[in-house]
Each structure stands twice: as structure tokens, then as C-alpha cells.
Structure 1
Amino acid sequence: MLIKPTLKIERLHVKRGSIIAFDEPFHNGVNVLCGKNGSGKTSVIQLLMYGLGYEVPNWKEEAGLCDNIYVELKVNGSPVTIRRKNNGSDKQSMDFCFSEMDAALASPHKNWFNYPYAIGSKPSFSQQLFDMLGLPEAKADANNNNVTLHQIYRLIYSDQSNTSSAIFNNEPFDSAFKRESVGKYLLGLYDNELYDAKIKLAEEDKKLQKIIAKLQAIYSVLGKTSFAEDIGTIEEQKKNILNKIASINIAIIEAKEESLISYSSDKKETESSAKDSVAIRNKLLEVETEIQQLNYNILDSEEFVSELIDKQSALRDSIKVGSLIDGFEFSSCPSCHKPLKEKVKDRCGLCGEPRESIGSSNGLLRMKNEIEIQLRESEKLLEKKKQKLTELTTKRKELRTSFRKQVSKVTATMSSVDASKEKQIFDLYRQTGELEEKLQTLDKIAELHQSLLELRDERYVVQSEVNRLNDKIELIGKQRLHREPEVQALISKRLCELLRKDNGSEKEFKNAEYAEFDFAANSVSVNGKTAFSESGIVLLNNAFHVALLMASLEKNYVRLPRLLVLDGIENGGMEDDRSKNFQKVVVEALSSYEVDYQLVFATKNIDESLKSKDYMIGEEYSEPNKSLKSFS
């Protein structure tokens, strides 16, 4: 059974130049890397963890000389091969190929996708793997740095060179806050969800109050007008006024034609005003055309984005369905219902094609990755187009007002010397001015009515979001309140069960009743005690990490990716009998789980019951037969 997130190692392939230094498969459950001291166990562990995204502080000499590390993974059941180069510099990027190892090694460059160490123009490799695992983002420290793969590995990988009593691997600039954040994140007790929800609620509530204030202001203004909320009455008034203005302009022209006199200066001014009117009209036509074209483009872009979202959703469904029915065998044709012919191993029972070429979800993952990149770019372009449309709409409104005023100005500059006609024309000008003022007032009132409608819709949307966020915050609070004591008690119980089966000299282990752990303090205690023998501290630390793994197999909300790596379980001078007993106790404790998981540990003395291909990674290594073959 698969619980998400699950990160399963399928194969490790290491090269030094053109030489293959290490190439071994891994399997579900317990994986043991065994060999005498100096045989290269820690080198293999370091290469594996570096390939997964961990920053190795102190390379073993042989491991540090290897330059290309490939790790085949099953991420939530889907295959992917990752490649990480080691050229001696820090913060290396990572390459992804959404297929199994053999296909990835033979794939062209275009099938590999590079993700940087840090966030930039594209997501980091941590973000990419987090997305594939379905893990949410979370802040790891007070500087707003996110939890990364490296920080997660500090807890699920016990480094041989680490302080024996420390829960987390050592690193420079560490902090209690960071350890607490990462530890609680992996136990499902913390992420950005609650924090972001509270921040978002404050923003939405502030936005809601502003909308309400605007609505109240508009109501106070509209309450003093004679117009109802129906904008149709305003449009009717505007139409009547425009008709009156047109009639008055005709009357002015007729009155001036009767005077039969004009001045050249007036003529020049009239011609100039007319030219200005034509120029404004041409600009208005250009803007109208551009708006029309942009509307078509936006509609096309929205349809394209919608199609991408549909494809993204369909691919996610396909990946999910594929993981659920993987390995399903047909006994009859689903079309004609006739019995199928004899099946050929490693080929599809329906079409007969090799399974590698048809069945894996690597192509779906690659397509999903490409669509996500395309979707991000398309949404950015769509937003720019919409912003441009808003700017053009505002410009069109300004040009329309300017054009109307310019037309009136052209009429106004037509002159007459007839006194009686001048008075008549003056009165007509005055009427035109008054009507223009009314028209502007109506435009403003119409804008207020439109704003009122838009603000009402916006208030409904924002209020709904405020209600949703309040419900979400309340739900998350209840979940966290219940989860923390539950998972702490579970880890304590499983740890005490492991310790009581220890054959060492610590009485507290044999009588273990309760265990406590403190991520911030980086320590574990048993029955309130933290001081034990050196080998006892090593065993306690390893047992605590196994208890974490067991908790992840029992509680779906625990985010530890069902993976644990322990290097050098005999540190601290642990006796062989004690080490072998611990190996048997752990394997026995994990054997009752039906959930997919991996425990990888290195030992110099493997218990006899584990000496089989079911548990061992490769051979039993020694000084003459080292794990990294190119250095033998």
C-alpha cells in the first residue's frame, strides 16, 4: 500500500568519467549495505544522499572523485531518474528525466529537464520534487527561507560523522527555530497553510472594509440624485441631451450662414480646430481597432489557458489512475470479450508491446512538467494583455470626451458680425455649454452606478473568501490540536518498544516507559534521562529515527517520505552482538507493516538472518573488494 508522500530508491548508478563506479538496485523494505571498515559503505551513502539533493559537508576521498550520480526513484509510485553532477563546487543543480534508469541513460538531451539549486527564473529542484511528492511549502527560519530537501534529509538521514546524540545532522548557521520548523513540518504539524490563511484573511478582511466604505460613499452621493439604480434612465437622458446639442449646433451654423460674414482669423481657427478633431478621431479609431483585436487575443489566450488547465488536470487524473491499476491483467479483450492469447512476459497483454514503451507514467510526468511551464508563461502573457486592455479602455474614454468637446469648439469658432445674430448665437453657445455640463454630470453618475454594480459583485466574492478562510483556520487549528499529542505519544510508544528489546547494559532501555524528544534542543530522552554510554546514545538515536519511520507508516498526515537512511549503526564502539540484535529487532518491527517504505542502513557486521538478496545491496564489501569498483 502506498501512502503519499513516498520517495522510493530503485537504483543508484555512479560514474567517474566514463567508468561505472557503482551500480546496484534497491528494493522495498529494509536495504542493508554491509562491509568491513574502509570498504566504502559511507562513500556509497554519501553519493546516494548527494544525488537525492543533500549537501555533503565532508566527502570521503573516493566519493568526492565521482562526478556523475544517477538515482532512479519512484516518487509517489511514478518513475523518475535524477542526475546530479559533482564538480567540487557547492549548490549544484539537478536534472530530471521522467523515465526509468535504462531509458533515461539512453535518452537525448531534450528529455532531461534542469532545475537549479535555488529559486530563480524557474523552480528549484527542491520545489520540483516537493511538487511531485505533493508536499506544501513551509518557512524554515525567521528569514523566510523555505524548507528544502536538504533540511528534510538532515532528519531522515543519520550521518556517520554527526554528533551521536543529535537528532538532526550538524550544519553551520543552524538554529533551534529551524529544527523545530522542519521537525514539525515532517510530522504534519506545521506548514505555511495556517500562516498563509491568517495573512490572507487579514488582507481579504481589509479589502472587504474598503469595499464597504466605497459602497457607503457611492450610496450617499446617489441618494442625492433623482436617478434610480437602473442605469437605463441615465442613458436615455444622455441620448436626449446629445440630440439637443446636435440640434443647437445646426441652429448655430444656420445663424452664421445668414450673417454672410466671416473673418480670416476665425477661418484659420476653425480649420485648425477641425484638423484637431480629425486627428483625435483618427486616434480614437486606432484605439478602437486595437481594443477589438486585443479582445480577440485575450479570448483566444483564455481558451488556450483553459485547455492547458484541463490537460494538466487530465494528466494528474491519468497518473493517479495509472498508479491505482498498475499491474492489472486482462483475461479477455475489453472490446469483443474474447479470451486473450497467451501472454508474453514483460509485454502488454492487449497489444503485445514491451511494457517499458507503453506502460510507464514517465511520459505523463514529462508532459505534466512541460504543460506547467507553458501554463505559467501563458498566464503571464494573458495578464499583460488584460492590463493593456484596461489602459486602452481608459484612453478610449478620454479620446471620446476630447472629440466631443472639439466638435463643439469647431462650431463655436464660426463667427458673425450681426449683433442680433451674435446674441442668438451666444444664447445657443450658452445652452450648448449647459448641456455639456449636464452630460458630464450624467457620465459621472453613470460611472458611479457601474462602480456600484462592480463593487457589489466584488463584495460578494471577498465576503465568500473571508468566510472560507475563517472556516479553514478553525479546521486547521482543531486538526493541529489533536495531532501533536497523538503523534508524540505514538513515537514514544514505538521507541520504547524497540528499546525494551535491546540487549545492552542500559537499564533505562529495558524499563523504558516513556520517551520524549525535542527538535529545537536536538535531543531525545528516555524516562527523563539523556545521559547514557556512547554506544547507548548511538542506539537510542537510531531507534528514535526508526520510530519516526514507523509513525509515518501508521499516520497518513506524517510527511516523512517513508524513507530512512542510517549510516554506521555501530558508532560509539557498539558491540557486534548488540548491533546484530538491533538489526533483527528493527526488521521484525517493520515486517508487520503493509505500507511501502525503505530503510537503508550500513553496517560492518550484518546479522546472519539478513544475508540474502531480499535485504542486501550488492555484495558484502571488504578492503580488497570495495564498493566503488573503479577505486579497488
Structure 2
Amino acid sequence: MTSKPSTFFVNRFIIVKGSKAVYDEVFHRGVNIIRGANSVGKSTIMDFLFNCLGGDIAEDRWNEEAQTCDAVFAEIELNGHALTIYRPVQPGKKPPMGFFDGSYEQLQAANTAAVWQSYGINRTDEKLSFSQQLFELLDWPHSQTDDFANLTIHQILRLIYVDQGTAVNKILRAEYSTFDKPSMRQAIGDFLLGLDDLGIYSLKQQLSKAESEFAKIDGQLDSIYRYISPSEGVLRVASLNSAIGDANKELLELLAHRDTLLTQSDESISDAVLKAKAEQASQQIAELTKEIDIRTAKQAEMLNEIVESELFITAIESRIKALKESRTAYEFFGEVRFKFCPSCLSALSDSGKEQCHLCKTELDKNSREASYLAALNELAFQKKESTKVLVELRTKLSEHAHYLNSKQFALQTVKSNHIMALRMSSDRVLKLNELSAKIGTIEERIKNYDTKAKLVGAVEGLIEKKQNLNAIMLELDEQIKASKSQTSSRRESIESNLSEKTVELLKKDGGFEPAFNVAQTVMFDFGKDFMLVDGRSKFSASSETILKNSFHLAILLESLEDDSMRYPRLLLLDNTEDKGMGPDRSQNFQRVLVEALTEHDEKSYQVIMTTSMVDPALDTSDLCVGPHYAKGMHTLSL
């Protein structure tokens, strides 16, 4: 949930052709009315504004006049922060958006010295997308739907912009593509009404971080246990201290013995003894060399296995990435459609059924989605298992390298003994050499014990951290459950409030629809994209227009009373007279809208609406923006 209201206002809007502004109007807080006769271009202005703010418009919905324009500018205010955005006009494409930190007047004054920040539709490693940048400025978290599709500013605007091209019985602006899932529509509504689980977003992130740290510590402990006590399984501080004491005692005895030998005189040693010593050392050298060769070959095999595993994991990651990109491309572009058969060049007809328009094979969207998820799950499982194997291989390689190093050290020691045996001239020197080797071994053992003793301290610290993290995870899990319960309670409250507000507005319709006069409840479902009045969905087209506009107005009114909603207190309304609306009914709704909003500070919201049947009293008010476009005039000064 948000802690303060989100606001998204338009201060000025400019449409440019060449070096000329063909539309330039200043908008104010409160209600803004663009009025004029039919076909003067009011909807063109609204579509341009929708596109400038980050919305996508299908290529076939750009009229000829709009296509001749070059760019759009909008001075906007996000949570009180003013900036100017720019977007080139590129019908059928999704161009980037430029951000200038300042008003449009400041931009004009800066001229060529203006500093623009460009953001594309997709995020890169170096920069956010323009949707993410707008979300950042609005202090919104980056949301995902249940199937992990990201919410964008285009999707958000689908609930803010009520256009004429969408059926009047739909809540959200129609998505002119093959991708418009119920999960996406539900996510839009829940996000803007503050009904989603993003209230526990940070808790989930904390839980994920704690679980990751817990797994890391668990792995560290496992590695330490393997190094310290692979056979014992349990390491105790007392046993280490006892071993260190015994080793120090043995070292002192050896040092004392060496001191005694140093005071003795040399005695010659027989050739037979020296020869025996040399042969023994030579045999040990041969055995150690053979074992080292075998171990070295095994090490090379293990290295090859690790490289192969790493390459396999890289290949899996590449396939996962390609699969996700393939899905994104399909969702973005939809099914590839041919106008002509690639074999005989005959024109292709659309059967209207759920089948491939080329080969006429029956299509099943659910089957495609299930296949995608199955493939993704299989790859994820393979990556998980391969990663587990790779970790085990690396651990074995580390242990193997440690053992190999010890054998190589032993070989060097035996070689030294062999050389010494060949060069020995007295028994005393031989014994001194053997004692030195034993002293070195004991000192190394004591050093190893000291290292293990330090690791024991680390183990105790890690165990304590592990216990603390476990307690934190349990607490976070309880907080998440509590937050979900609160979200459920809030949903009931919001749905009830919107129903009451919509019913109140419907009863002010003026008696054009008798069912509205006695309405009790309005139910809505963003996922299914429909509204019901007392369980009924079918009304006349003009009545459905009133219902739709009243519901959107109710959302705006609720946002003015509920700071936990993310709806940015901006309503773009372009279907006031949609579907055969008469002047009396349209003008009545205009008065109802203005009256309903007068109870609130006009600086706290903004409505930009169009009408060809403006109420005479409103036509001369300060609520109107621009001239009254008479028949023959056009909003774009082309």
C-alpha cells in the first residue's frame, strides 16, 4: 500500500509538425473540457495525449492528419515534480521517450542547451525503460502479474483513459493485440486500487534475501564440516584443544631429543644401513610418484567434467533466455499472419475460428501456454540439477587438490631423505634429519589444528546467524500472512465503496434508464472486464456509456478519499457522447461530474474530457480549454 497519494497531472500539451506547434494548450487542475462539433479532432488530441504519456496506439488507429505530425511534448507533474516529456510520432511503432527535468518554458529557454534523458520501451543493463522511470517518479513499485508479465505505463493508462474505440461494456481500454490476459487486466485494477500484494512486496523481498542468506550459510557450514571432520561428522572444541595439547607435548619431546643429539659426537654409519635407507626412500618415491600421476590424471578428468557442466549450464541458460524472448516476442507481436499463401500466392481468408489462418490447424492457447511452462520448468529443473552436480564436482576437485598437494609435499620430503641417505656420514646426522622431518610434520599438524580452531569459532558464529535467520524467516512469513488478510479485508471495503459511489452517480442520470433509479449494487471484475448493476449487464448503448463513465468517475472520487490507492487522480474521458447519447443526457452527466467533484479541492485531481454537446452553462466557464471548435474547424492547425 502507498503511504501518500499518487498524482499525475498534465500542465501543458503540444503537438508539433516540423518547427510549428499545431496544438498547444495549457491545462489546469480540476475539470478541463475540450468541446466542439463532431469530427473536429477532439479524439485525435486525446489519442495523442495517451500516446505521449506512454500509451501504445495500433497503426490502423492513426488518422491521416495525425500521421503528418512529427512529435508531441507534455509538461507533466508527478507527485509534485514538474518535468517535460517528448515522444516522436511513429505510427505502428513504440518509440522512446525523452525526459527534461523542468517545465516546457524552461525547455524553450534552454533551447539547444537542454539536457534530455532518453528511455526506451525496454530496460537495458545501463538504463531503465520509460515505464520504470515513470514508476520511479511516481514512487510506485515495479509490479508483475501472476504469470510474471511486467506492468507498464501503457497498461496503467488503460484504466485512466476512457476512449471511444473500446466497447462501452468494457472497463479497460481495449488492447489491440493478441495479448490481453485476464491476469494482466486484474493486475491493472488491483495495482491502481491498492488491492494487490505489493503491500507485502518488501516483506517478500526480505524473506527472499533471508532464504538466500540461509542457504549460503548452510553451504558454508557443509564445506567447513567436510574440511574439518569428514569422518567424525561432529567437531568439538574440547577435542581440538586436546589434540593441540598432545601435539605440543610431542613437539617438546622431539625438540629435547634433537638437543641431546646435537651435544653428542658423530659416529660413522655402515654402508649397509645407508643403502637400506636409500632403497626405502627410493621405493617410497616410486610409490608416491605413481600415485601422484594417477591423481593428476584424475584431476584433469574432473576439470574436464567441470568445464562440460559449466558449458551445459550456459547452454541451458541460453535456452531459457531464448524461450522467454520467444514468449515475449509472441506476446508483443502476436501470431504472424500472412495475407497470401507463400506457396501459391492465393489470398488467405480468415475463418474466424481458433485455428491457424494458414494451415487451418486448430489452435489451443491454453495448450501453447502449458507447453511453454512445461518447457520452462524442464529447463529450470535441468539447470538446478546440473548446478547441484557442478557444486559437488568443485567440492571434490578442491578436496582432491588438497590431497594431491599433501602427496607432492610428502614426495619432496622423501626425495630430501633419499638425498640425505646417499650423503650421510654419521648416525647422528641421520637421526637429526629424521627428527627434523618429524618436527616439521608436527608443526604443520599444530598449524592445521589452529586453522581448524579458528573455523570452529566461525562455525559457532554461522550457526548463530542461521538460527537468527530462521527466526526472521518465520516472523516474515507470519507478517506476509497477516498482510494478505488485511488485503482481503481492504478489497471488500474498496469494492463496497466503489459500488456505493457508482450507484449514487447512476441515480442522478435523470431517469433515462429506469433500472438505474432503483439500483442497489454495482459489481465489477477487472479480469473478466465487465460490470453488473444488480446482476444485470445488458442495457442500451447509451446507458452502458453512462455506467462505464460513472464507474470511472467513482474510482477517481474514491482515490480522493483513500490515500492508499495508487490511482493518480487523473481521468481522461473521451466518450461522453458515445453510442447515440442525446444532448440532454450528455449534459446532465457533465453537470453530475462537475458537481460530484466540487466537494473536493480542485488542486488535488484533474479530469480532461471531450464533448460535442457541452452544457451551455459550462461552455462559458473557466473549465473549458481552447476554443469551441465549430463545424469546419480542426483541433490541429495544419
TM score, norm. by length of structure 2: 0.68
- Structure 1 CA distance for aligned equivalents of residues 124 and 171 of structure 2: 32
Residue 112 of structure 1 corresponds to 116
Name which of 209, 223, 238 aligns with 2:236: 223
Deviates more, 1:408-417 or 1:118-127: 408-417
Alignment partner of 2:50: what SS? helix
Name which of 594, 606, 610 aligns with 1:602: 610
Alignment partner of 2:592: what SS? helix
Residue 20 of structure 1 corresponds to 21
- Structure 2 CA distance for aligned equivalents of residues 210 and 192 of structure 1: 27
**Counterpart check, 1:97 vs 2:130:** no
Residue 535 of structure 2 corresponds to 528
Q: Could you tell me whether the CA contact under 8 Å between 2:31 and 2:607 is conserved in 1?
A: yes
Q: Could you tell me whether the CA contact under 8 Å between 2:13 and 2:72 is conserved in 1?
A: yes
Q: How far is 1:484 from its partner?
A: 0.5
Q: How far is 1:184 from its partner?
A: 1.1
Residue 628 of structure 1 corresponds to 636
Q: How far is 1:421 from its partner?
A: 3.4
Q: How far is 1:557 from its partner?
A: 1.1
Q: Which letter maps to 2:97?
A: M
- Structure 2 CA distance for aligned equivalents of residues 110 and 228 of structure 1: 71
**Counterpart check, 1:154 vs 2:155:** no
Q: How far is 1:624 from its partner?
A: 3.3
Q: Which letter maps to 1:79?
A: A
Q: How far is 1:474 from its partner?
A: 3.3
Unaligned runs of 5+ in 2: 279-397
- Structure 2 CA distance for aligned equivalents of residues 93 and 205 of structure 1: 38
Q: Which letter maps to 2:632?
A: P
**Counterpart check, 1:188 vs 2:189:** no
**1:27-84 CA distance string (max 9 Å, x none):** 1111111111111101111111111000012123222322211111111011111111
Q: How far is 1:510 from its partner?
A: 1.4
Residue 54 of structure 2 corresponds to 53
- Structure 2 CA distance for aligned equivalents of residues 163 and 587 of structure 1: 25
Q: How far is 1:225 from its partner?
A: 4.5
Q: Could you tell me whether the CA contact under 8 Å between 1:252 and 1:411 is conserved in 2?
A: no
Name which of 611, 615, 632 aligns with 2:619: 611
Alignment of 1:346-361 (within 5 A): none
Alignment of 1:358-397 (within 5 A): none
For these two proteins, the number of residue pairs brought into alignment is: 491
Q: How far is 1:613 from its partner?
A: 5.7
Q: Could you tell me whether the CA contact under 8 Å between 1:159 and 1:169 is conserved in 2?
A: yes
Change beyond 3 A, Cα 1:54–1:259: farther
Residue 393 of structure 2 corresponds to none
Alignment partner of 1:501: what SS? coil
- Structure 2 CA distance for aligned equivalents of residues 228 and 474 of structure 1: 47
Alignment of 1:390-539 (within 5 A): 415=420, 416-421=423-428, 423-439=430-446, 441-456=448-463, 458-459=465-466, 462-463=469-470, 465-539=472-546
Q: Could you tell me whether the CA contact under 8 Å between 1:137 and 1:191 is conserved in 2?
A: no
**Counterpart check, 1:174 vs 2:177:** no
Alignment partner of 2:539: what SS? coil
Residue 600 of structure 2 corresponds to 593
Q: How far is 1:486 from its partner?
A: 0.5
Alignment partner of 2:140: what SS? coil
User: Identity of paired residues, percent?
Assistant: 31
- Structure 2 CA distance for aligned equivalents of residues 460 and 200 of structure 1: 16
**1:67-120 CA distance string (max 9 Å, x none):** 211111111011111111113352211111111111123434662111111112
Q: Which letter maps to 2:462?
A: L
Stretches (4+) displaced over 4 A: 195-200, 209-213, 215-220, 236-260, 401-414
Residue 33 of structure 1 corresponds to 34
TM score, norm. by length of structure 1: 0.69
Q: In angstroms, what is the RMSD of aligned CA positions? A: 4.0
Q: Which letter maps to 1:127?
A: Q
- Structure 2 CA distance for aligned equivalents of residues 145 and 597 of structure 1: 30
Q: How far is 1:458 from its partner?
A: 3.0
Alignment of 1:232-247 (within 5 A): none
Q: Could you tell me whether the CA contact under 8 Å between 2:247 and 2:442 is conserved in 1?
A: no
Change beyond 3 A, Cα 1:430–1:521: same
Residue 586 of structure 2 corresponds to 579
Q: Which letter maps to 1:72?
A: E
Q: Which letter maps to 2:544?
A: I
Residue 362 of structure 1 corresponds to none
Residue 278 of structure 1 corresponds to none
Deviates more, 1:170-179 or 1:620-629: 620-629
Q: Which letter maps to 1:223?
A: R
Deviates more, 1:40-49 or 1:469-478: 469-478
Residue 134 of structure 1 corresponds to 139
Alignment partner of 1:222: what SS? coil
Change beyond 3 A, Cα 1:527–1:490: same
Q: How far is 1:440 from its partner?
A: 5.2
Residue 381 of structure 1 corresponds to none
**1:391-449 CA distance string (max 9 Å, x none):** xxx9xx99xx9999999799767633224135313431441353145235414523422
Q: Could you tell me whether the CA contact under 8 Å between 1:238 and 1:442 is conserved in 2?
A: no
Q: How far is 1:196 from its partner?
A: 7.2
- Structure 1 CA distance for aligned equivalents of residues 259 and 151 of structure 2: 75
- Structure 1 CA distance for aligned equivalents of residues 248 and 627 of structure 2: 92
Q: Could you tell me whether the CA contact under 8 Å between 2:237 and 2:456 is conserved in 1?
A: no
Alignment partner of 1:111: what SS? coil
Q: How far is 1:482 from its partner?
A: 1.8
Deviates more, 1:64-73 or 1:529-538: 64-73
Q: Which letter maps to 2:510?
A: N
Q: How far is 1:178 from its partner?
A: 1.3
Q: Could you tell me whether the CA contact under 8 Å between 2:7 and 2:570 is conserved in 1?
A: yes
- Structure 2 CA distance for aligned equivalents of residues 245 and 621 of structure 1: 109
Change beyond 3 A, Cα 1:9–1:243: farther
Q: Which letter maps to 2:11?
A: E
Q: Could you tell me whether the CA contact under 8 Å between 1:54 and 1:150 is conserved in 2?
A: yes
- Structure 1 CA distance for aligned equivalents of residues 260 and 86 of structure 2: 84
- Structure 2 CA distance for aligned equivalents of residues 616 and 247 of structure 1: 106
- Structure 1 CA distance for aligned equivalents of residues 523 and 77 of structure 2: 33
- Structure 2 CA distance for aligned equivalents of residues 508 and 209 of structure 1: 60
Residue 325 of structure 1 corresponds to none
Unaligned runs of 5+ in 1: 267-393
Q: How far is 1:620 from its partner?
A: 1.1
Q: Could you tell me whether the CA contact under 8 Å between 2:266 and 2:429 is conserved in 1?
A: no
Change beyond 3 A, Cα 1:436–1:561: same
Change beyond 3 A, Cα 1:32–1:453: same
Alignment partner of 1:74: what SS? strand
Change beyond 3 A, Cα 1:445–1:568: same
Residue 372 of structure 1 corresponds to none
Change beyond 3 A, Cα 1:141–1:479: closer
- Structure 2 CA distance for aligned equivalents of residues 196 and 611 of structure 1: 49
Q: Which letter maps to 1:62?
A: E
- Structure 2 CA distance for aligned equivalents of residues 525 and 618 of structure 1: 37
Q: Could you tell me whether the CA contact under 8 Å between 2:11 and 2:27 is conserved in 1?
A: yes
Change beyond 3 A, Cα 1:418–1:517: same
- Structure 2 CA distance for aligned equivalents of residues 60 and 69 of structure 1: 16
- Structure 2 CA distance for aligned equivalents of residues 480 and 162 of structure 1: 31
Q: How far is 1:462 from its partner?
A: 2.1
- Structure 2 CA distance for aligned equivalents of residues 256 and 627 of structure 1: 117
- Structure 1 CA distance for aligned equivalents of residues 498 and 162 of structure 2: 17
